[in-house]
Amino acid sequence: MSWVSGAAGSPYGVTNLPYGVFRHGDREPRIGVRIGDFVLDLAGAEAAGLVLAGGALGRPTLNAFLALGRPQWTAVRQRVVELLTDPAHRPTVEPLLVPLREVELLLPFEVADYVDFYSSEHHAGNVGQIFRPGQPPLLPNWKHVPIGYHGRAGTVVVSGTPVVRPTGQRASAQGPTTGASVRLDIEAEVGFVVGVPSRLGDRVPVADFTDHVFGVVLVNDWSARDIQAWEYQPLGPFLGKSFATSVSGWVTPLEALADAFVPAPHQDPPVQDYLRDTPHLGLDVTLSVEWNGERVAEPPFATMYWTPAQQLAHLTVNGASLRTGDLYASGTVSGPERGQVGSFLELTWGGSEPVKFADGSERTFLEDGDTVTITATAPGPDGTTIALGEVTGTVLPAR
């Protein structure tokens, strides 16, 4: 039990402790850990000799700390838990607590590379039916290889950053035209943050997942479906996806999710040897999608066909190196029911079935001024619940 006011019973209690980077007033960006409705200033804690991390916690991003690796991550976490639970530390630690309402959250890590996967069988099947009616919903390779593509690291933004409606080429009855997207969508995803790099030419096996991956963020991979539909064949997504990817301001350590690992869906046909993870585990994370303040879907991450460890192994099977700050996302999280989908493309079935809101308004895709917020929870120890940092964004008109 933490001595911090309000931490007991909070989904951001001592069993969670996500890391972020914050600005308080006119001070420089600092690394902190969330506890309840406060942020523990870890830069100040390290400067005071309360936490030892070789100066990595005094940086303006998490990257130096991420590079330290699992033993140091565990040691710092254990020390922070001690500082926040032992009343003897209260006199020295309490002055380092900053009310959450007073801080501005910044992008927590410098993104090195960004890869987005396509790992939900339900999502892939739905999209196949919408984009390729009359054809098999899954392409022949889908259950053999974790499909993914490279995104733009430079357009990954922290939660709360407005998203400008993208412009690009679209198909029309008269041929291609150029203009602002009229089918702007979201993709509710879970992202994985790489800490420890790998050497170019080396493969990272599934068993080494926890040695390299520090933690988890929620992701909204904004998508312009009309631009995507025109450009995606034959090489896949490009400008329909690369204009903005929002991530939460808090990175939840894998250690906080220890009780959330559950058996992943059975894979048939059998996968290639390098993808065989034993045990075959996914994460019991339940997402919630709010559109202009109304909950419209609850995607279940536990249904994802390809696991995070398999994604990492596939990402590196060709010898591509990992870098500290790499982000790879799961792809849209969708379950078998309409109320469990992670995109509005699926929720409105390609725009043919509008969503009706309490005020009588309807939507098929995002309009200027719309706000989307994605939250998530996962089981913690002893029946508790932990929360992942939310990711939210508001659509601005095209420029």
- Catalytic residue numbers read 123
The strands making up 30-35's β-sheet, listed across from edge to edge, are 97-99, 38-41, 30-35, 19-24, 103-106
Residue 366: alpha-carbon gap to chain centroid: 20
d(CA 229, CA 207): 37
Look at residues 244, 250, 124, 105 and name the one whose alpha carbon lies nearest to residue 186: 244
Task: Decide: 308 and 338 in contact? Cβ < 8 Å.
Answer: no
Residue among 52, 12, 51 at smallest CA distance from 34: 12
Please tell me the distance from the alpha carbon of residue 69 to that of residue 57, in angstroms, as a whole number: 14
* Beta partners for residue 24, in sequence order: 103
Query: What does the alpha-carbon distance between residue 19 and residue 349 come to, in Å, rounded to a whole number?
Result: 37
Do residues 122 and 339 make contact, with C-beta atoms less than 8 angstroms apart? no
Nearest to 188 by CA among 335, 293, 308: 335
Q: How many Cβ atoms from other residues are within 10 Å of residue 267's Cβ?
A: 18
Where do the H-state alpha helices sit in the chain?
42-47, 63-66, 70-85, 90-93, 121-131, 209-212, 225-231, 308-316, 344-347
Instruction: Tell me the two tokens of residue 352.
Output: 């043919």
Task: Report the run of H or E that residue 38 belongs to, with start and end.
Answer: strand 38-41
**HSE-up (13 A, CA, CB side) for residue 394:** 6
Gap between the terminal Cα atoms of the chain? 50
Q: Is the CB of residue 100 less than 8 Å from the CB of residue 34?
A: yes
Report, in angstroms and rounded to the nearest whole number, the Rg of the chain calculated over CA atoms.
Answer: 21
Euclidean distance between CA atoms 244 and 247, whole angstroms: 10
How far apart CA 380 and CA 387 sit, in angstroms, is 9
